[in-house]
A and B are shown apart, each in its own frame.
Chain A
Amino acid sequence: MPERVVISFVCPNCGAEVNALEGHTNVQCGYCGSRLLITERLGMPRIFSRPVVKNPRGIIKSIAGKDAKIIDLDLLFIPMIKLRAEIIGWIHGYKKGEVKKDYYYDSSGGSQTNSLYSGAYPGGSSAIGARVVGEKRVKKKVRRILEMRIDPSNFYRFGIERIKLKEKKFEPYDDNLLPQFGNVFDLPLSIKEYLKQGEDTLISNITGEYSGWDEFKWNLRAIKKSAIVYYCPVYFSRLEVAGVPYTYSIDAVSGEVLIREAVVHKKERRVIKLNPLYAIIGLAGVTISVLPSVIGRGWTLLVGLAVLFLIWELQYGTE
């Protein structure tokens, strides 16, 4: 019997104790078999998959090399939230097109400059016209069922977004069982906050398609929101290969390497950006001081004027 019990009830049929798991509303009495409904949903369902990989050190050494020195290796259960919601409402937008001047043929021979047209004009004499390209309008209802993953441990970079959930067998979360395998990460925020965060992201995924439009109105909301917390077992290791520290994270079910990266303390490179204007002024100074002895004063004056013009162009010239 899983231990993640939210609340214990008394079966209204037989009086036996009925334990309800969080996030579920349908329960069955273990004694009389009555099917029962809980009047309020508490929390959200949590599930986990058991670690299968027996030799994580072997996997790491097969990739990092036999000389790799494993400093530490831990099994962690990282929570990942899968949110599902139906986004309903409407969007209404308009995007201006670009006016493009174009040539077209006028069969009547009359001039039709600056008129708007679309498509080719067959036969006749040519004239300059303009057409609007890329004008877009949208006015429609939205009803989309969307799913997304929220990675609450994103900050730690375990790479759990790469875990394929469909290939795994999950069972109800068990408070007593999981610590026997490894450490369990808690959710840093409340479930409601994740649901709100997910709802905002799903809506912005839709409205984001229209960013940059000249006019855009929307009224969207999420209904039928549901979420499941998956606890995915991950081996996380720090190691050293030829003096370079590395971090590895491995899916403890499939053995797939999720993250493999060298921990490099990057030195800041000093980049000296040379302003071309100063370069030219410096060059001009050197040239003027050397040139008179080589090409004479007259030519030096001309070169000097040319350099001054160039500096003027760079500073104030039109693009």
Chain B
Amino acid sequence: MGQNDIKLIPFRCPECGEEIDSKEEDCVYFCSVCGLGFQLEVDRFKKVDVIYAKPLKEVGKRPLYYLPMWQIQTTISIKEQYSLNYQDIPEELLINRRFSKLLTGLFKDRNAEKKMIFFVPAFGITNRYQLMDEPGFQFTVDPPKLIGTTPKHMIGAEYTHKDAKELTRVMFLSIQAHTRVDILNADIDFVFRRYRIAGIPFYEEEGLLVDGIKGFRIFKDALKNWDEIKKHLKRGGK
């Protein structure tokens, strides 16, 4: 693309015309009025599906901070056949029957296809993110049923859907890394069916951030510039 092809696009919601506040690193932007999400594709904004999840836990009157996560529906198939039994799956994953069944089915049956929903954080993280519960990983192992609510103020997403797809592969391999079977060289086929942004509510508790869906925790400094994000969200996205 030459310099002549580069354009300037007003930072306004394509739906309602409201001006959007964003950071330099953002890739997906959210309108604080109509809740629409959109990302740049070549030289125009393209709509991204967004669901603002209603908290499923009792959060009381605590303020909620919505953080974006990519929710990617994927079909995975493995060409080779592996012998993976329940005893090869670690206890923390075995607790979830549905997931254990999915893993064993995927590995044991030749050309088996399994649907998986991956949750990949789209907000800017630091290396501290992996030191706590990793809500994205936990949601992938045991996907929550998200109930939509009215649009909320949400910070922009720093990971594009392409980044999220890469992270999805890494997450799948990290799940199998917990098992005793080595499929690192396996011919794994990922078909990305659908993707959308899920706005996940978080609240502060005992110096940590806790998700309002299942109660998984992350350090506050697992988010890049948490103090700025907090101020920004309290101002109502302005």
Residues of A at the B interface (CB closer than 8 Å) are: 6-7, 9-13, 18, 24-27, 34-40, 42, 88-90, 92, 139-145, 217, 219, 221, 223-224, 226
Contacts of B10 in A (CB 8 A): 12-13, 34-37
- Bound form: Cα–Cα A299–B174 in Å: 78
Cβ–Cβ contact A37 & B166, under 8 A: no
Report B1-44 residues with CB < 8 Å from chain A CB: 1, 3, 5-11, 19-25, 40, 42-43
Smallest CB–CB gap between A132 and chain B, Å? 19
Q: Which of B1, B6, B42, B174 contacts A140 (CB 8 A)?
A: B174
A139 to B173, CA, bound (A): 10
Asked if residues A145 and B6 are in contact (CB atoms below 8 Å), the reply is: no
Contact A42 B6 (CB under 8 A): yes
Interface size on B, residues (CB 8 A): 36
Assess whether B167 is in contact with A144, with CB atoms less than 8 Å apart.
no
Known: A37-B10, A224-B159, A226-B25. 15 other contacts (CB 8 A): A7-B3, A12-B9, A27-B8, A34-B11, A35-B11, A37-B40, A39-B6, A39-B7, A39-B8, A90-B170, A141-B171, A141-B174, A142-B170, A145-B127, A224-B158
In angstroms, Cα B60 to Cα A298, docked, is: 109
A36 and B158 contact, CB distance less than 8 A: no
- Asked if A7 and B174 make an inter-chain contact with CB atoms under 8 angstroms apart, the answer reads no
Query: B24 is contacted by which of A13, A24, A139, A145 (Cβ under 8 Å)?
Result: A24
Bound-state Cα–Cα, A90 to B9, Å: 38
In the complex with contacts A40-B1, A144-B127, A223-B166, A90-B174 CB distance below 8 A: yes
Q: How far is the CA of A140 from the CA of B19 in the complex (A)?
A: 43
Q: Give B118-148 as 1s and 0s: 1 = Cβ < 8 Å from A's Cβ atoms.
A: 0000000111001000000000000000000
Q: Flag if A141 contacts B173 (CB, 8 Å).
A: yes
List B residues 99-132 near A (Cβ within 8 Å).
125-127, 130
Task: List A contacts of B42 (CB < 8 A).
Answer: 39
List chain A residues, Cβ under 8 A from B49: none
Bound complex: CA A65 to CA B48 (Å): 68
Residues of B within 8 Å of A37, CB to CB, are 8-11, 22, 40
Complexed CA–CA distance, A38 and B42 (Å): 11
B91 at the interface (CB under 8 A from A): no
Complex interface: chain A residues within 8 A of B95 (CB): none
Specify which chain A residues have a CB less than 8 angstroms from the CB of B158 in the assembled complex: 224
Contacts of B11 in A (CB 8 A): 26, 34-37
The interface centre, meaning the residue of B9, B10, B130 with most chain A CB atoms within 10 A of its CB, is: B10
A-B contact list, 5 entries, CB within 8 Å: A12-B8, A36-B10, A37-B40, A90-B177, A145-B125
A309, chain B: closest CB distance, angstroms:
58
Residues of A within 8 A of B20 (CB): 35
Scan B181-192; emit 1 where CB is below 8 A from any A CB, else 0.
010110000000
User: Is the CB of B227 closer than 8 A to any CB of chain A?
Assistant: no
- If A35-B19, A39-B40, A221-B166 touch, whether A90 touches B184 (CB-CB below 8 Å) is yes
B88: interface (CB < 8 Å): no
Q: Check B22 against A11 for contact (C-beta < 8 Å).
A: no
Let me know if B170 and A89 touch, CB within 8 A: yes
Contact (Cβ within 8 A) B24 A141: no
- How far is it, in angstroms, between the C-alpha of A224 and the C-alpha of B26 when the chains are bound? 11
CB neighbours (8 Å) of A27 from chain B are 8
Output the nearest chain B residue to A142 by Cβ-Cβ distance: B170
The CA-CA distance from A145 to B10 in the complex, in Å, is 32
A115 to chain B, nearest CB (A): 24
Q: Report yes or no: A11 in contact with B8, Cβ–Cβ below 8 A.
A: yes
Q: How far is the CA of A142 from the CA of B23 in the complex (A)?
A: 27
Nearest chain B CB to A259's CB is how many angstroms away? 33
- CB-nearest residue of chain B to A223: B163
Tell me whether B170 and A143 are in contact (CB under 8 A): yes
Partner of B8, one of A38, A141, A219: A38
The reply to whether A139 and B182 contact each other, CB–CB distance below 8 Å, is yes
A1 CB → nearest B CB, Å? 18
User: Which chain A positions have C-beta within 8 A of B182?
Assistant: 92, 139
Structural contact, B8 and A9, CB atoms closer than 8 A: yes
B180 to chain A, nearest CB (A): 10
> Which residues of chain A are near B130, meaning CB under 8 Å?
143
**Distance in Å: Cβ of A27 to nearest Cβ of chain B:** 7
